[in-house]
Amino acid sequence: MAILAVNAGSSSLKFSLHPLTDGQVQPHLLSGNIQGLEPGGAPAMGWQHRGEKHQRALQVPAGASPFGAALDALRALLGEWADAPEIAAVAHRVVHGGGEFTASVRVDDAVLARLARFNSLAPLHQPHNLEGIRRFRAAFPGLPQIACFDTAFHAHMPEVDRAFALPRALSEQGVRRYGFHGLSYQYIMGVLQERTIRGNGRVVMAHLGNGASLCAAHGGTSVATTMGFSALDGLMMGTRSGALDPGVLLYLLEQGWTHARIEALLYRQSGLLGVSGISADMRRLRAEAAAGHGDARRAIAQFTHRVVRETGALTACLQGLDLLAFSGGIGENDAQLREEACAQLGWMGLRIDAARNRQVEGACAIHAPDSRIEVWVVPTDEGRVAAREAAALLRG
């Protein structure tokens, strides 16, 4: 038996197949990503199986849905190996569970309807996550579909961090800080607790990618995080603004901006893309900055500054820091960002080993021997966490 973990986005479908051995979830046997699923796109599937990488273009029949073609291709791929395990359930990453869903749940029509209420709080993710569940339910009838929530890891944050300084009536309506990237933080936390005793202490985890956030944890439990009511708050991101003075929004409304225009600005036109005017991709911005592009340098410096500033704030919440961990596409792969951020945090007694930082492979420590704070890089695996959640729910 195996759990199929999936993450359905607006134009892509990530997947991984995790075998079950004595009820325990194993590392993925198969993983991949189907891209180009937006209208008019050119769908293509890339996957890795037993260490070998493959690529295949997908044909979409006239009038058919690209996502439907992706599901057909995935089903065909899963059936190509004689030793492929039987799928016990599909585990879906769902960004927002609100205050109602604080643990993974088997999905039915009522659950889908309740989750749809959070679409406006995560418009880049939630509607596509739920549409993915609907399509998998139709494609795999009778197979349990399990929703696993990014907000669940933060469900028990202290009220002092969870609450906004708003009238109680709004708080009672659910206007509060929820936090996100929870599946990633759950995985990182588990790795750290297995690898170092400091993983049970005061930890700041940095999930840095196109979406970016920080999380402070103590004893393995989230106590504060930079994202809030929506996935807009906190750090500067690829195309999202991060924390912003609410007065800016009032000003834009006075200037006649519509809800749709403001939403596009905050979610799709800001962040690294907005500041640089070039790209949301840190790799391209590094190349442009090296070539002397001033706006690219400014975007990178602003992104790094926000990471440093919020790390300091979360360290204050923890009343000290034992370990700092980097993850996500930027956190795992951008050695220069780790070096620059850690240099600016050197006042805390944090030191990294330059050679280790440049030669990261898998989950590893990169701090220098004389560092007062451990520094780790942990490649995240949200799919494996979702698969574990689904397996536990099935057992229960």
Residue ranges for the binding site? Answer: 7, 14, 93, 207-211, 281-283, 329-333, 382
Q: Which residues are annotated as a binding site for Mg(2+)?
A: 7, 382
Size of the chain, expressed as the number of residues it contains: 396
Q: And the tokens for 93?
A: 């990453």
108 a catalytic residue: no
Residue 196 Cα distances to 28, 135, 364, angstroms: 24, 41, 11
Q: Which residues are annotated as a binding site for ATP?
A: 14, 207-211, 281-283, 329-333
Q: Which residues are annotated as a binding site for substrate?
A: 93
Which position among 72, 150, 295, 353 bears the catalytic label?
A: 150
Q: And the tokens for 128?
A: 């596509």
The gap from C-alpha 389 to its chain's centroid, in whole angstroms, comes to 16
Residue found by looking up tokens 């708003």 in the block: 166
Q: Amino acid identity of 31? A: S
Rounded Cα–Cα distance for residues 326 and 356 (Å)? 14
Rounded Cα–Cα distance for residues 362 and 380 (Å)? 10
Query: Three-state DSSP class for 280?
Result: coil
Helix ranges (DSSP H) in 239-320: 246-254, 259-268, 271-276, 282-290, 294-318
Half-sphere exposure of 226 (CA within 13 A, CB side): 32
Q: Smallest Cα–Cα separation from 395: which of 7, 11, 15, 24?
A: 24
Q: Are 145 and 106 in contact (CB under 8 A)?
A: yes
**Please, which residues have CB within 8 angstroms of residue 101's CB and are 6 or more apart in sequence?**
114, 115, 147, 149, 151, 152
Both ends of the chain: CA-CA distance in Å? 17
Strand partners, 89: 3
Residues assigned a catalytic role = 150
